A and B are shown apart, each in its own frame.
Chain A
Amino acid sequence: MSRFILRRLGTLGITLVLVSLMVFLIVEVASPVSVCRRNLGQFATDEQVTLCEQRLGLDRPLPVRYAEFLKNAVTLDFGVSTLTDEPVLDSVIPRLGKTLMLAGIAFIVIMPLAVVLGILSALKEGRLMDRVIAISTLTATSIPEIATGIFLLVVFVGWLGWLPGATVIPQGDSLLQHPSFFVLPVLTLTLIEVGYVARITRASMIDVLDSQYIRTAYLKGLSYWKIVMRHALRNALLAPIAVIMLHVNWLIGGIVVTEVIFGYPGLGRFILGAALNRDVFGLEAATMILVLVAVGTQLIADVVYTFLNPRIRFG
């Protein structure tokens, strides 16, 4: 088991190295516009740009620059963000915190709801409740966040005026003191994700209910609820974990979009701003962190799945 985790960590490390290489190549090498020109903006003079290039050592050979890039990454020294005029780390970390808060709350709301819906749907397969849940979840999950977000904005902010449209926190207050800012972003994410997770859970549960061992349980004369709770559930919940693992990257995209729609001050909104405004260092740092979160989450889900699946755990 521990060998398994070690192997996974190894893959994680390799992926991170590959990521850093890719980031480095795309951001610093591939662009026709040099880092410095982007940093200083289009109004900078040529002299300023040349000075900056010398200072950053952009004329050195690529492998050397890459090595320094890696070193900086590991020591968490990313430079100064042109977007926020702060050291990049100071800009990124608090925003990461806010994003994780949003993701966390959304997770707590989505998971139980989706699993319950999926299982209910599967138990009543083919009947009215199942069809209603199936169609509504399919529809909800198909509508992109931009559309859902706009619809919610129009209804709750435009027409009803119950909730704020943009996340504007008074100076000095923490986000948690104003829970109304969470409602719409979480609701947007929920509408999209609940459908997805519920459908997977439903499919998995239906598969399990069709299996031979459930037939055995039935032939033993076990009661309906015992069959569902004790025999079916633990097998049915395995598959969704595996699939959700693959889904994390999709989720990150959704969080970025949701933050932008509602002006939520998280890492997603930051990274978009960095990209559009050519804040090179901010972009690099935020990218690395987001990918780290993505891969890390996948690793955790993988370990959890292995732990829960006796076939792998006990070889």
Chain B
Amino acid sequence: MATAAASPRTGTEPVLSVRNLAIDYQTRKGDIPAVRDVTFDLRRGETLAIVGESGCGKSTVAFALIGFLGKNGRISGGSVEFLGQDLTGLEEEQLRRIRGNNISMVYQDPTSALNPSLRVGVQLAEILTEHNEECGEKEAYEQCVAMLEHVHMPDPKKMMERYPHQLSGGQRQRVIIAGGLLNRPALLIMDEPTTALDVTIEATVLDLVQEIKEKFNTAVLFITHDLGVVARVADRVAVMYAGEVVEEAPIKELFANPLHPYTRGLLACIPRAGAFKRDTVLQSILGVVPPPNALPTGCAFEPRCPYSEERSRDEHPEFRPLNGSHSVRCHFAEEIAAGTKSLDERKVHIPAAAVAEPGETILEATDLKTYYAQKGRGLFGLGEKSVVKACDDVDFSLRAGQTLGLVGESGSGKSTVAKTILGLEPVTGGHIEFMGLDLKGTVDDRASKTLKLLQMVFQSPDATLNPTMKVGSAIARTVAKLTDTPHKSVRGRVIELLDSVKLGERYYDRLPRQLSGGEKQRVAIARALAGNPNLIVADEPTSALDVSVQAAVLNLLLEIQSENNTAFILITHDLNVVLYLADWIAVMYLGHIVDYGPREAFLKPPHHPYTEALLSAIPLPDPSVEPKKVRLEGTIPSAIDPPKGCVFNTRCPRYIGEICHTDPKIHRLENGQMIACHHDIEYLASIDPVIDFDEVQEPRLLVP
């Protein structure tokens, strides 16, 4: 077992010292440098976050530390010193003894990370018995139970006997974390451990990471693409771009004073807590990440950098410390810090501010219900059928030019509401009125003149386009089906649409596999615009995209709204994005809308207790803001058998008692807000706000 440090919280000797690490992948066409130059130190009790977009090499660094590079990868340069030993020179057998013992790794997707055929207890105990010869079965069992208690697992003894499929996602991640800590490793590597989890569960896992760091004095290397998560867990941050670390600083310093142009670009394109589309814009840096086999000579960021000069193309910048703890890889770091460096505005995309004015009410949903009947469990599917109440008693309305944000976690029913309105799912009960029409039935029953007014943009860019259909044909088909455009003019219209999403005519004959994720999403938007819709439903349109691409797509949506007065229903789990884009917000839980109102109403109480928990859970990209801590226990109940009365009663931190098992009171306030809760409105209004939005710093725009 790795010896627990008797030294103070942050020891003086670094646990991990990485110097100029370089990793290559060998392919048939030659060596590709996935990682070029990474340098950092990590001490006990410290969390270093490595942040970057996909392809920057951050996961590769993590895997290289434990020798998990596969047949084609190898460390081609630099050193990795761990507790005095150089890991790069070690044999496989020596590395094996370190894995799970002195260095543990936790990575994302807990669903498939555990062996489905073995009990949880077995999978935990073997970590101990493998690395400690003296540890017997009984002793291993007891230590596992103790560790499960450390990670706040309910009923640890029972958990040991369970199989992974009987646990929830959050519970599985805790089991994996517990497993990683059993041998009290000096270093814990976490690679996107919460990306696949719901936001309220993510919050509890992040709390856990903080807690174990303090309890066991472990050094934590945390890899993520989410700057909000970074702000919450990290002590120090290293930003990676194209295989190199470009900036490293303590967390508060990085957010307050980013120096590298890439970091500045990143921070300028994510909405800060509480930012609103009418007040600020998301500025994004133009260009793409260069592929690892076609890197520019000189500075890797130069083609996109608004501060670039001749020197950037010729000379590769060194990674140098600026003032003690803040290091940057940029020729002009000092000038940028002083504010004297000139900026080329053409390299920055500065969108116009959103100006759409709300018009008439175009959509009204009343008492909307969508139930799915499941197959019965008897022979031939007969027998008692269970019903999934995906969406129950949902009311809301929407005006032209407005954006409604539908927020909720998995199982909340937000996607079902969208599909029901669009007609992809049949309505089980209730009423939808759109543009004066009564929307009944499904898509198959609607005329094309209705269909064209109501379109959707989907979540996954890969699945949104038919791989066997050319981009132009797909849009052309939509135009032909939904509008009366004469045959000859269709192609012209398609090109018009492609222009409006900033793609252009040369994309007409391309196949989807030749496009990047962001481009595919733009094509999807162009397709949705084909019939000049009054309402577009966007279902997590940017969740699968990198941060810089996200900003561009969101800006595009805003532009469309400004020009055409289109109404949007934006479905997302990201409350941050919703607070930026939406005029009205509806919070959904287990098929019910629990909190509904104009955006301003969500900045301060009264809140529904679930909204409170959500606001508390969202990782804000602003380390100076400390939200009040409100955490939920347990998991979302099944929609097949929802709790009676207020569906939130199993997890509500403000649970009253018996009364919560009856249908909640509906409070309607003057500003249009609706809250479904048994508490009095005065009580809800009197609680402390979760986030003090006045504390939030002004975003550092590239172009002020």
Contact = CB atoms under 8 A, between A and B. Distances in A.
Contacts of A10: 379
Interface stretch (A199-207, A218-226, A293-301): A218-226
A235 interface: yes
Nearest to A219: B105
Interface of A: 7, 10, 211-213, 215-223, 226, 230-231, 234-235, 238, 309-311, 314
Contacts of B118: 230-231, 234
Contact of B116 (A217, A221, A235): A235
Nearest to A315: B166
Interface string B394-436: 0000000000000000000000000000000000000000000
A220 B116 contact: no
A82 to B, nearest CB: 41
Interface residues of B, number: 29
Contacts of B547: none
Contacts of B97: 221
B130 A311 contact: no
A234 B163 CA distance: 14
B66 interface: yes
Interface string B94-120: 001111110011010100111111100
Contacts of B117: 234-235, 238, 309-310
Given A213-B113, A217-B115, A221-B130, A310 B165 contact: yes
A107 B105 CA distance: 44
B236 to A, nearest CB: 24
28 contacts: A212-B112, A213-B112, A213-B113, A213-B114, A213-B115, A213-B116, A215-B107, A216-B115, A218-B99, A219-B66, A219-B68, A219-B99, A219-B100, A219-B104, A219-B105, A220-B126, A220-B127, A220-B130, A221-B96, A221-B98, A221-B99, A221-B101, A222-B126, A222-B130, A223-B130, A231-B115, A231-B118, A310-B165
Contacts of A219: 66, 68, 99-100, 104-105
A10 B131 CA distance: 51
B472 interface: no
B99 A310 contact: no
Contacts of A226: 126, 130
A223 B96 contact: yes
Interface in B160-214: 163, 165-166, 176, 179
B176 A310 contact: no
B116 A212 contact: no
Interface in B489-518: none
Contacts of A218: 68, 99
Nearest to B102: A221
Contact of B163 (A212, A222, A223, A310): A310
A127 to B, nearest CB: 12
B126 A216 contact: no
A86 to B, nearest CB: 40
A213 to B, nearest CB: 4
A211 B112 contact: yes
Interface string B444-473: 000000000000000000000000000000
Contacts of B165: 310-311, 314
A130 B68 CA distance: 24
B121 to A, nearest CB: 13
Interface in B119-139: 126-127, 130-131
Contacts of A220: 99-100, 104, 126-127, 130, 179
Given A7-B379, A219-B100, A311 B116 contact: yes
Nearest to B98: A221
Contact of B176 (A7, A216, A222, A235): A216
B442 to A, nearest CB: 33
A124 B96 CA distance: 20
Contacts of A235: 115-117
Contacts of B179: 220
Nearest to B182: A220
Contacts of B127: 220-221
A216, A220, A230 pick with most chain B CB within 10 angstroms = A220
Given A218-B99, A221-B131, 20 more contacts: A213-B116, A215-B107, A216-B113, A219-B99, A219-B100, A219-B105, A221-B101, A221-B127, A223-B96, A226-B126, A226-B130, A235-B115, A235-B116, A235-B117, A238-B117, A309-B117, A310-B116, A310-B165, A311-B163, A314-B166
Nearest to B92: A224
Contacts of A217: 115
Q: Which of A217, A221, A309, A314 gathers most chain B CB within 10 Å? A: A221
A235 B114 CA distance: 12
A311 B96 CA distance: 31
A273 to B, nearest CB: 39
A78 B107 CA distance: 65
B625 to A, nearest CB: 35
A35 B291 CA distance: 77
Nearest to A222: B130
B416 to A, nearest CB: 25
A4 to B, nearest CB: 11
A215 B131 CA distance: 17
Contacts of B98: 221
B109 A212 contact: yes
Contacts of A7: 379
B61 to A, nearest CB: 15
A187 to B, nearest CB: 35
A92 B113 CA distance: 53
A216 B109 CA distance: 11
6 residue pairs, one from A and one from B, having the closest CB atoms: A221-B99, A221-B100, A220-B100, A212-B112, A213-B115, A310-B163
A15 to B, nearest CB: 13
Contacts of A215: 107, 113
Contacts of B130: 220-223, 226
A18 to B, nearest CB: 14
A17 to B, nearest CB: 15
A215 B100 CA distance: 12
Contacts of A222: 100, 126, 130
